[in-house]
Amino acid sequence: MEINTPALEVHNLTASYNRKPVLWDIDFQLPQGQLIGIVGPNGSGKTTLLKNIMGLMEPDSGYVNMFGQKLDDVRERVSYVPQRESVDWDFPASVLEVVQMGRYRKNNLFKRLTARDHEIATQSLEKVNMLEYARRQISQLSGGQQQRVFIARSLAQQADLYLMDEPFVGVDAATEESILKLLTEMRQEGKTVIIVHHDLQTAYEYFDWIVLLNTRLVAAGPKDDVFTSNLLQEAYGGRLTVLSRIGDLIAKKDFPLRESDFKEKEGQGDG
């Protein structure tokens, strides 16, 4: 596959729940080998976008390509990490068994894993600092630990394109930083990582490209082109005083921590 082929193309995508549009005419392309954030206010359609990309929802219109092909044709090159809350963590499996699931493919579902598969699963646990928990049942882990196991399973797939929905929810700041550094290393290896994310500080610090969303696509492009006061104001609507302050802070390379901080400081509700 040529490097100039987009990692992901979303064309004229409209999606709804109970006939209420959640995404409206979304159209963008994302390059390979980049660390990309999908950001926007609560309820803006970020998770819905990932579900449509992964074929977990049927869009009302539009289509998605990955590396110039349909998902079914490149599924083994794509890894998806859903929100932790959407997973049944009471399933009886050990940490290592969950990560080893990332080594199965459509054509080897009933084959025994090889020594190399076990090695890759072990290395993936090491990368997220969870190897010491390998024999523990996933139901016995904290929320942050479960999230790290899910990321390890994704790493074990050794995909080319990774889509992660809020992978840092429930993890502490040190773990978040270590995982972000790991994702940066993956980008350096030519991987494409797309993350639904709420932390505007780390989004600007670590991500190369930003998809700014609020039901409609506000902007998609290099972070310096997207993180502007006008575009943030368009995306976040009523938080005008907050957004003008974000723009000033971005210009100074001095960021507030999280979207929730803006809400608490300004006393406003979710957008």
Query: What's residue 271's pLDDT?
Result: 35
Query: What's residue 247's pLDDT?
Result: 57
Yes or no: say if 266 and 242 are a contact pair by the CB < 8 Å rule.
yes
Query: What's residue 144's pLDDT?
Result: 86
Q: What is the CATH number of the domain that holds 180?
A: 3.40.50.300
Query: What's residue 174's pLDDT?
Result: 86
Mean pLDDT for each consecutive 10-residue tract of the chain (271 residues)?
A: 85 92 95 96 93 95 97 94 79 92 72 90 95 95 89 94 91 86 92 91 90 96 93 77 55 51 39 35
**Which residues make beta-bridge pairs with 215?**
none
* pTM, to two decimals: 0.85
3-class DSSP assignment, residue 65: strand
Specify if 271 maps to a domain.
no
Specify if 210 maps to a domain.
yes
The CA-atom distances, in angstroms, between 60 and each of 11, 17, 37, 101, 270 are: 12, 10, 24, 32, 27
Domain containing 27 equals: 8-265
Closest CA to 22 of 54, 69, 58, 73: 58
DSSP string covering 176-221: HHHHHHHHHHHHHTT-EEEEE---HHHHHHH-SEEEEEESEEEEEE
Angle between helices 240-251 and 229-236 (to 10 degrees): 150
Specify if 2 maps to a domain.
no
Closest CA to 148 of 116, 177, 115: 177
**CB count in 10 Å sphere of residue 184:** 14
Residue type, 40: G
Distance CA 152, CA 133 (A): 12
Specify if 3 maps to a domain.
no
Specify if 179 maps to a domain.
yes
Specify if 48 maps to a domain.
yes
3-class DSSP assignment, residue 1: coil
Yes or no: say if 177 and 167 are a contact pair by the CB < 8 Å rule.
no
Specify if 16 maps to a domain.
yes
Specify if 1 maps to a domain.
no
List the structure tokens of 110: 């009933």
Number of structural domains, the chain?
1
The CA-atom distances, in angstroms, between 236 and each of 124, 214, 265 are: 37, 8, 16
